[in-house]
Every structure is written in structure tokens, then in C-alpha cells.
A = this chain, B = another copy of it.
Amino acid sequence: MQNMYRLFFKAFSNTTRLRIVGLLRKKPFTVNELCNKTGFEQSRVSHNLRCLEHCGFVHMTRNGSFRTYHLDKETIAPILDLLEKHMKKYRKKLERCEVLRK
């Protein structure tokens, strides 16, 4: 159980994945679109999409050689919405923490 939490948080404690999830909260995108929007390399985006998909946080649909990724809306979206509310309270502290700031 403990470990599950850890994996869950780990999935989101990464710049690349958070950025992707952030975009997918608005609407679905193809891999290329995600690359353009983020400025990240294609393989970097693909590798991390793979992780997100494995975890069930995003889903993929094919359209020819294009692959469109979209967020699993019922579950992840509400969690992120909830966190957003709480987040402001911690902002300054989080940013000041020497352990995490690295």
C-alpha cells in the first residue's frame, strides 16, 4: 500500500510528465503537438507518455500514424483540481525547502 502511494507520487514528481499532464488537462494532443508545446525532444516525450499510459493516467487513440493522448478524466483530473486548491497554502514553504529544492 505504502509503495503504491510512492509510485503514484513518483509519477507526478517529474517535470516532463507534469508538463504533459498539464497540457492534456485542457485537451488531447498528439506526440508531436506535445513536443512543440513543451519544447522537449520527441523521445523524451514518448518515453514519459509510455510511463503515464502504463499507470493508466492517460489513454491513447491511433489515427493513421498519429497517436493522440488524452487524460483519464474521471480520476486524475479531480485529484489535480483538489490539489490545486490546497497548493497555494504550501507554495512558499515548498519552494523554500532545501531538501526538495535541489
Contact = CB atoms under 8 A, between A and B. Distances in A.
Given A51-B99, A55-B94, A87 B2 contact: no
Interface residues of A, number: 45
Interface in A1-33: 1-15, 18-19, 22
B12 A87 contact: no
- Interface SS of A by simple majority: helix
Contacts of A6: 12-15, 18
A96 interface: yes
Contact of A13 (B9, B79, B89, B101): B9
A36 to B, nearest CB: 17
7 contacts: A2-B22, A5-B18, A51-B99, A54-B100, A55-B90, A56-B89, A56-B94
